[in-house]
């Protein structure tokens, strides 16, 4: 049985090239961490300009609630629909797949190569961007008089803050508050069930070749903590690092959660070289979770949190 905790290593300095490469990979994953402190004025708007602070720390001001919104990420589209502002979306990305209505939206292109021309052609008063590579778009769009809100949360709480801010910007504070309350509820429910229990070492597999995990400062790392686990991947640094298979076997996590979906299916772990003797495999503690439930910074994180908590602490949910 695993008794050793993963050592919290300071992040070692990377060579420049690998840092650039890592930044590129992060951008692909829409991960890139940044401050998610939003200290905007308290919500009391109904008339007058609305000012909020986005995840890049920039102030976003609208004279009136947005009526024509363009989303540049599937998670943003999902959020807009969840807080009852789906009707205000005039365009989304070609990857938008949830909810079903999102698929019918006009498309501005895919996530990594949104075209400024196409965005502006929809005459939006608000653009919902993601972090990383999309930051370069901000200057162009704001220069053309389009407000840009960057959604790039690094924690569960950060996602809830974004939901509230977007509710204000789009004039749907009530619905947004209800969704936030549901997310708060899921968090409190998980805390009530797991906070007193031990925190088993948990490994999150994002991809198998190369073996990739969620590092510290990612909201997946935050979710694992909220679900009552210790994230082994946090020892490999920030963002979404490749993880050593040798160290995985050495640390021998009690719980193994593999993501399925956009990066393919994890398959049978016992068939992989060296995996058959893992404690998680031997004790049948390998789980598969739909990636969109824990990898997308949106309202469905509440569902993802609940599922993760059930995987890490099945004993706490047996009587339910």
Enter the tokens of residue 36: 């998610």
The token duo for 309 is 């908590």
Cis peptide before 99 (omega within 30 of 0): yes
CB of 300 closer than 8 Å to CB of 292: yes
CA distances from 194 to 119, 191, 316, 320 (A): 45, 5, 7, 14
Site mask for another protein (CB under 8 A), range 25-64, x = bound: x--xx-----------------------------------
Which of 209, 284, 318, 319 lies at the binding interface for another protein (CB under 8 A)? 209
**Using the rule CB under 8 A, is 117 a contact of another protein?**
no
Task: Select 15 or 47, whichever has its Cβ closest to another protein.
Answer: 15
Give the phi and the psi of residue 39 in degrees, each rounded to 5. -110, 45
Q: Is residue 264 close enough to count as binding another protein by CB under 8 A? A: yes
Stretch that binds another protein, among 51-59, 171-179, 223-231, 248-256 (CB under 8 A): 248-256
> Distance between CA 92 and CA 74 in Å, rounded?
8
Rounded to the nearest whole angstrom, what is the least distance from the CB of residue 198 to another protein in the complex?
21
Q: Is 269 in the site for another protein (CB under 8 A)?
A: no
Chain-centroid distance of CA 172 in Å reads 22
- Beta strand 89-91 with 201-205 is unpaired
Q: Can residue 73 be called a binding residue for another protein (CB under 8 A)?
A: no
Helix H or strand E segment including 222? helix 219-226
Binding to another protein in span 131-190, by CB under 8 A: none
Pick from 149, 156, 207, 287 the residue near another protein by CB under 8 A.
207
Kindly tell me which of 289 and 305 has the beta carbon lying closer to another protein.
289
Please state the closest distance from residue 111 (CB atom) to another protein, in A: 9
Nearest to 311 by CA among 287, 281, 295, 290: 287
Residues that bind another protein (CB under 8 A): 9, 12, 14-15, 17-18, 21, 25, 28-29, 94-95, 110, 112-113, 207-212, 215, 235-237, 241-247, 249-250, 252, 261-264, 267, 272-274, 277
């Amino acid at each position: 049985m695993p008794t050793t905790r993963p050592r919290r290593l300071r992040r070692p300095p990377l060579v420049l090239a690998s840092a650039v490469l890592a930044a590129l990979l992060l951008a692909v994953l829409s991960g890139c961490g940044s401050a998610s402190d939003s200290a905007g004025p308290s919500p009391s708007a109904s008339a007058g300009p609305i000012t909020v602070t986005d995840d890049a720390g920039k102030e976003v001001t609208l004279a009136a609630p947005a009526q024509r919104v363009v989303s540049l990420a599937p998670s943003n589209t999902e959020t807009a629909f969840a807080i009852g502002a789906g009707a205000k979306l005039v365009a989304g990305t070609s990857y938008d797949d949830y909810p079903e209505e999102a698929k019918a939206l006009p498309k501005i292109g895919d996530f990594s190569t949104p075209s400024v021309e196409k965005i502006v052609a929809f005459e939006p008063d608000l653009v919902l961007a993601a972090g990383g590579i999309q930051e370069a778009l901000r200057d162009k769009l704001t220069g053309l008089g389009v407000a840009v809100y960057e959604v790039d949360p690094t924690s569960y709480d950060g996602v809830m803050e974004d939901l509230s801010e977007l509710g204000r910007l789009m004039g749907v504070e009530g619905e947004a508050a209800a969704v936030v309350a549901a997310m708060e509820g899921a968090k409190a429910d998980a805390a009530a069930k797991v906070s007193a229990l031990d925190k088993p070492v948990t490994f999150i597999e994002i991809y198998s070749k190369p073996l990739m995990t969620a590092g510290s400062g990612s909201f997946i790392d935050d979710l694992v903590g909220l679900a009552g686990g210790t994230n082994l991947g946090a020892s490999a640094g920030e963002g979404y690092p490749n993880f050593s298979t040798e160290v995985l076997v050495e640390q021998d996590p009690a719980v193994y959660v593999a993501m399925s979906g956009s990066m393919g299916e994890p398959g049978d772990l016992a068939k992989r070289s060296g995996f058959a003797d893992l404690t998680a495999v031997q004790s049948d503690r390998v789980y598969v979770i739909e990636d969109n439930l824990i990898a997308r910074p949106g309202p469905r994180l509440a569902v993802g949190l609940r599922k993760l908590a059930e995987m890490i602490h099945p004993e706490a949910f047996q009587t339910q």
